[in-house]
């Protein structure tokens, strides 16, 4: 990575962004879902992405697990309570860079609760699109405990265990579009 990069503002391209999650269901399988309402910026500093500032907002109402009844339940006060907490946000605090690999620590606010979450991220590549825009791709992964964010609804199973697991696996794939900052 170029350590003398010009400061650049990058915008998340929502048409080329994917934020997915996976949670254990009935203790026997994993249910996956995604959020489709994603926006955000990455302000790269003098060291490029190694000292960037990341701000991401997710529209919690855009949750999609391919099951309308489950999605309605997830939007309800039992889970995300989207009427009261319409967005999920992430603001980076520090980034440790090792080549194209990053550990990104920041504040994740969900359901009115803010906790530090660390993402392991990889720069997937850079290039120009057919219209002359500079683009960069990133993949990131993290795990969190939903109970840490006040998402505690559950149901006990007759056979033991619970309906919904506590660990949430997050998988993010983003394409960013650059805009050079005025000098």
Which range (42-46, 87-91, 138-142, 145-149) has the least confidence? Answer: 42-46
pLDDT for the residue 64: 97
Contact 106, 117 (CB under 8 A): yes
- Euclidean distance between CA atoms 113 and 92, whole angstroms: 16
pTM of the model: 0.89
Cα Rg of the chain, angstroms: 18
Mean pLDDT over each residue of the chain, to the nearest integer: 90
Q: What is the mean pLDDT of residues 128-152?
A: 93
- Euclidean distance between CA atoms 143 and 147, whole angstroms: 12
Domains of the chain: 8-180 (2.40.128.110)
Residue 72 has phi, psi (to 5 degrees) of -60, -40
pLDDT for the residue 48: 80
- Euclidean distance between CA atoms 26 and 150, whole angstroms: 20
Q: What is the mean pLDDT of residues 107-111?
A: 97
């Amino acid at each position: 990575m170029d350590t003398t990069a010009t400061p650049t503002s990058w915008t998340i391209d929502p048409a080329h962004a994917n934020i997915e999650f996976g949670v254990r269901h009935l203790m026997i399988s994993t249910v996956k879902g995604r959020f489709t309402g994603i926006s955000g910026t990455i302000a790269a500093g003098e060291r490029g992405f190694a000292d960037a500032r990341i701000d991401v907002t997710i529209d919690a109402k855009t949750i999609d697990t391919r099951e309308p009844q489950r999605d309605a339940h997830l939007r309800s006060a039992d889970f995300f309570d989207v009427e009261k907490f319409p967005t999920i946000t992430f603001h980076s605090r520090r980034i440790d860079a090792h080549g194209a690999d990053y550990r990104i620590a920041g504040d994740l606010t969900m359901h009115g609760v803010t906790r530090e979450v660390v993402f392991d991220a990889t720069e997937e590549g850079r290039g120009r699109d057919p219209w002359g825009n500079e683009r960069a791709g990133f993949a990131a992964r993290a795990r969190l405990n939903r109970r840490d964010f006040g998402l505690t609804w559950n149901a006990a199973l007759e056979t033991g265990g619970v309906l919904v697991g506590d660990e949430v696996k997050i998988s993010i794939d983003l394409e960013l579009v650059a805009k050079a900052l005025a000098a």
